[in-house]
Structure 1
């Protein structure tokens, strides 16, 4: 994964208020994948990246339930 590219895509594609739940869910899933990748690299921030991944996945699930 190209981390800089993934971060740029997340920044550009961030859903606007009122976006449909599917779009918001997909954005959170992409965010979760980025944090999962960063956690897999290891290092002192890996525990925080795991937590961020879990939070993003929960938010994606909540959005899917709104659909």
Structure 2
């Protein structure tokens, strides 16, 4: 994973808050994957990245449950 490419892709693909829940959920899942990757790399921010990954994944799941 190239972190800069992934961060740029997330930034450019961020949806407006009026986008449908499934699209938003997919974006938050991609954000969770990025933060999860950063959490396993050596760094002082490992715990913060892990927390951001968990938050993004939970938000994605909440959005998907709202669709169902």
TM range (shorter): over 0.9
Count of matched residue positions in the alignment of Structure 1 and Structure 2: 67
Shift of 1:15: 1.1
Q: State TM-score, norm by structure 2.
A: 0.95
Does residue 7 in structure 1 map to residue 17 in structure 2?
no
Q: State TM-score, norm by structure 1.
A: 0.96
CA RMSD of aligned residues (A): 0.6
Moved over 2 A (4+): none
Does residue 50 in structure 1 map to residue 43 in structure 2?
no
- In structure 1, runs of 5+ residues without a counterpart are none
